Amino acid sequence: MNVSNFVGAGNMAKAHDFTTHVIWTGNRGQGTQSYRGYDRTWDVAVPGKAPIHCSNDPMLGGDPAKMNPEDMLLSALSACHMLWYLHLASDAGIAVMSYRDTPVGHGETEPSGKGRFVSAELRPRIAVPWGTDLAEAEAIHHRIHDYCFIARSVNFPVTFAPVFETV
């Protein structure tokens, strides 16, 4: 499949709507009557999909066993990059045998408590068959952010440091 066939030809942008349900689950019975009297937990619930049980960052007293918004943003960024990599590799005739990423998001918190991501680095390990043109396989990464919905939406730089393994 050609990218232009996938994303649509022409100069008209195609609108997309996305929806989800975020349901606070942290009411211990008294709501938010006191700052320490409620949990910072919620579920992400999209109809027809398994819910994701979430909490805030452990730095802020959240449950480290649950996903937090920062985890989800970094995971979404990595997954979007991966899906476009697989697509563009397939279009280029490059067989990807496995793909796994351990991305790192770099954040900062100001003395006022305001936080933000300042950058992210994707670190995919990609297995390809012997004889694959590794220069072409690496070059694909440089084209992904022209397409990736998430990467095109964030306001911080996203870099990548791929490692290729031949199998």
Instruction: Read off the pLDDT band of 2 (50, 70, 90).
Output: very low
Please name the residues in contact with 44: beta carbons below 8 A apart, sequence gap of 6 or more: 20, 21, 22, 51, 52, 54, 72
pLDDT value, residue 4: 45
Q: What confidence tens digit (pLDDT) does each residue in 111-135 have?
A: 998 999 999 999 999 999 999 999 9
pTM above 0.75, yes or no: yes
147 and 132 belong to one structural domain: yes
**The pLDDT of residue 74 is above 80:** yes
What's the domain range around 47? Answer: 1-66
- Whole-number percent of the chain with pLDDT over 90: 82
164 and 85 belong to one structural domain: yes
**The pLDDT of residue 8 is above 80:** no
Among 24, 45, 66, the domain-final residue is 66
58 and 131 belong to one structural domain: no
As for how many domains the chain has, the answer is 2
